[in-house]
C-alpha cells in the first residue's frame, strides 16, 4: 500500500470565472454539518451530466450490470488507478506484464483534500503486490471470507496454508462453489454505451431478457412519508415507457416508497394501439411551445389530487412549479421570502409538491431514454430539460412571472371545470341535493377556491395534524431542508 499525493491548481476541476461553477470545489465536496437526509435523489444524474459536458465525455460510458469488472480490466490494461468505495476491485488480478503490476485501487474514504495547498493524498492499494506479499490469491481469500464472515484474517490465512499443503489445490479442495465465485471476477467483454441515469440504464438492460423479472427501482425522493407517494405523478408516462420497452409483458413492478416502507407496485403494460395513441399525445404536447414542460408538470400534479378527490396545492406553490421550468433561462429574481428562515419556506405541502415535480421530470426522462433505445425516428424524440432545472432554491425563492401565473390559472380552470361536471352528475343522481348539506355550490367550494386563489385555506378543510405539518417541516428542532436553501 502506498501513500500517494498529487497537486492541483486551485483545489478542484472545472473552476473559473465568468460565473462558471467549480464542480469539485471545497463547498461542493465538504460540509462540516451533519445531514439528516439521504443522498439527493438525482445525484448520479447530475454527475453524469457534468461528465457529459466535460473533457471526459468521450471516455465515459454506461455498462450493463456492475461496472467494477470493466474498471478493473481497463485499469490493469493501462496501469491506471480505480477510485471506488467497492473493495471487490481488489479481487481482480492481471495476467502478467508491467501494466498489470502497477494498477491500483483507491478508496473514497481514504482520500484527503488539502484545499489551501491544492493537494490530494490517499492510500493506494496495489492488488498484485498484496497478493505476492501474502502469497495468496486475493479472490480465494475473499471467497473464504465470504463463506465465513466472522473468521479472523489469521484463521483464513491458516486455512489457505492447509489447502496449499494438501496438494489438492484450490479447485480440488473447494469445488463448484469456488468456481462460481471466481467466475464473478473474470473480465467482461465489450464496451459500454452512452451515458444513461443508472436506474434507467438498469431497466433498459432488461430489454430482450427472457425469463427475468421486469422491475424498476425508483429514486428515493425527499418527501413526507405520511402522505401518498409522490410517484403517483407521472405514472401514465412511465407506463407508456414500459409498454414501448416490454410490449410482450403483462406488467412491470415499480419499487418505491409506500407509507413508511418500500414496496412494489405493478404498472400495467398498454396495448400497442393504446401506447401509440399516448405517445402521439405526449409528442404533440411537447411541441406546444417553450412552456410545455411547465404545463405538463402542473397538469399532472393537479390531476393526481383530482384523482384523490382532494383540492390541489396552493396557487403560489403551483406557480413555483411552473417557474422552475419556464424560468430556467432567465435571471434569478428572488422574492421577499428569501428573508424568511428555511423552516418557514419549506412547509410539508411545498416539500411534497417539489417531490411531485421531480417525479414528473424523471418520468419524462425515462420516456426520453426509452425512445432513444427503441426507435430511430427523430420525429419521436422527446427533449427534457437538464437535471439542474430541479433547483430547490429557485422553487422557494424565485419570483414567478406573469406567464407562470397565467399557466396555473389555465390548468386550474380545467380542473374546476371537471369538478363542476362531476358534481353536477352527483347532484342529479341524488335528486338535486346541493353539496354541503343544502348549502349553495359556490359556498360549499369556497374553501377550495380560496386555496387556489392565493389566500389562506379554509380551516375546516384541514385536520389539526395537517395544520401542524403545513406550518413547518421539522425533525427535532431543525428543519431537514435547511441545507437546500441556506
Hey, is 111 helix, strand or coil? coil
- C-alpha span between 380 and 386 (Å, rounded): 19
C-alpha cell at 427: 347532484
Predicted local confidence at residue 393, as pLDDT: 83
| pTM beyond 0.85 | no
Q: Dump pLDDT digits (tens) for 82-130.
A: 999 888 899 988 766 555 678 999 999 999 988 888 888 999 999 888 8
Predicted local confidence at residue 116, as pLDDT: 84
Hey, is 206 helix, strand or coil? coil
Predicted local confidence at residue 82, as pLDDT: 92
- C-alpha span between 11 and 15 (Å, rounded): 9
Structural contact between residues 139 and 182, judged by C-beta atoms closer than 8 angstroms: yes
Distance of CA 342 to the CA centre of its chain: 23
Domain ranges, ordered by start, for the chain: 2-183, 217-485
Predicted local confidence at residue 364, as pLDDT: 96
List helix spans (H) across 246-336. Answer: 272-285, 292-307, 315-326
List helix spans (H) across 327-376. Answer: 342-345, 348-374
C-alpha cell at 115: 484545499
Q: Dump pLDDT digits (tens) for 307-354.
A: 998 999 999 999 999 998 886 445 555 554 445 555 557 889 999 999
* Local structure of residue 434 (DSSP, 8 states): P
Spans in the chain with pLDDT lower than 50: 5-24, 328-329, 336-338, 430-486
C-alpha cell at 151: 473468521
Amino acid at each position: 500500500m502506498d501513500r500517494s499525493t498529487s497537486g492541483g491548481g486551485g483545489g478542484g476541476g472545472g473552476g473559473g470565472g465568468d460565473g462558471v461553477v467549480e464542480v469539485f470545489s471545497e463547498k461542493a465536496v465538504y460540509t462540516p454539518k451533519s445531514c439528516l437526509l439521504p443522498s439527493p435523489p438525482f445525484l448520479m444524474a447530475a454527475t453524469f451530466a457534468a461528465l457529459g459536458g466535460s473533457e471526459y465525455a468521450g471516455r465515459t460510458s454506461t455498462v450493463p450490470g456492475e461496472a467494477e469488472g470493466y474498471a478493473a480490466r481497463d485499469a490493469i490494461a493501462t496501469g491506471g488507478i480505480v477510485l471506488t468505495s467497492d473493495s471487490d476491485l481488489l479481487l481482480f488480478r492481471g495476467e502478467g506484464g508491467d501494466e498489470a503490476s502497477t494498477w491500483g485501487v483507491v478508496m473514497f474514504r481514504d482520500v484527503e483534500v488539502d484545499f489551501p495547498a491544492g493537494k490530494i493524498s490517499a492510500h493506494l492499494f496495489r492488488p498484485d503486490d498484496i497478493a505476492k506479499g501474502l502469497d495468496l490469491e486475493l479472490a480465494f481469500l475473499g471467497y473464504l471470507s465470504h463463506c465465513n464472515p466472522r473468521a479472523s484474517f489469521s484463521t483464513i490465512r491458516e486455512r489457505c496454508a492447509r489447502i496449499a499443503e494438501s496438494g489438492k489445490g484450490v479447485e480440488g479442495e473447494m469445488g463448484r462453489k469456488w468456481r462460481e465465485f471466481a467466475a464473478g471476477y473474470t473480465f467482461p467483454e465489450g464496451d459500454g454505451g452512452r451515458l444513461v441515469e443508472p436506474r434507467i440504464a438498469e431497466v433498459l438492460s432488461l430489454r430482450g431478457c427472457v425469463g427475468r423479472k421486469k422491475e424498476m427501482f425508483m429514486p428515493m425522493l425527499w418527501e413526507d412519508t405520511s402522505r401518498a407517494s409522490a410517484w403517483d405523478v407521472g405514472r401514465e408516462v412511465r407506463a407508456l415507457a414500459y409498454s414501448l420497452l416490454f410490449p410482450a409483458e403483462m406488467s412491470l413492478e415499480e419499487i418505491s416508497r409506500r407509507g413508511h416502507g418500500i414496496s412494489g407496485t405493478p404498472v400495467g403494460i398498454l396495448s400497442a394501439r393504446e401506447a401509440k395513441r399516448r405517445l402521439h399525445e405526449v409528442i404533440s404536447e411537447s411541441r406546444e411551445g417553450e412552456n410545455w414542460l411547465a404545463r405538463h408538470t402542473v397538469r399532472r400534479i393537479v390531476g393526481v389530487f383530482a384523482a384523490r378527490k382532494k383540492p390541489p396545492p396552493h396557487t403560489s406553490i403551483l406557480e413555483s412549479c411552473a417557474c422552475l421550468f419556464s424560468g430556467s433561462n432567465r435571471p434569478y429574481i428572488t422574492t421577499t421570502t428569501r428573508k424568511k428562515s428555511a423552516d418557514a419556506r419549506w412547509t410539508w405541502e411545498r416539500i411534497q409538491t417539489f417531490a411531485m415535480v421531480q417525479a414528473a421530470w424523471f418520468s419524462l426522462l425515462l420516456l426520453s431514454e426509452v425512445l432513444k433505445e427503441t426507435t430511430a425516428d427523430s420525429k419521436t424524440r422527446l427533449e427534457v430539460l437538464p437535471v439542474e432545472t430541479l433547483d430547490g432554491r429557485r422553487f422557494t425563492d424565485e419570483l414567478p412571472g406573469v406567464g407562470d401565473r397565467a399557466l396555473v390559472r389555465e390548468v386550474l380552470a380545467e380542473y374546476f371545470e371537471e369538478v363542476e361536471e362531476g358534481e353536477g352528475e352527483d347532484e342529479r343522481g341524488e335528486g338535486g341535493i346541493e353539496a354541503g348539506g343544502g348549502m349553495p355550490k359556490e359556498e360549499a367550494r369556497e374553501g377550495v377556491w380560496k386555496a387556489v386563489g392565493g389566500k389562506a385555506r379554509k380551516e375546516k378543510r384541514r385536520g389539526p395534524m395537517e395544520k401542524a405539518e403545513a406550518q413547518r417541516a421539522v425533525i427535532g428542532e431543525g428543519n431537514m431542508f435547511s441545507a437546500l436553501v441556506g
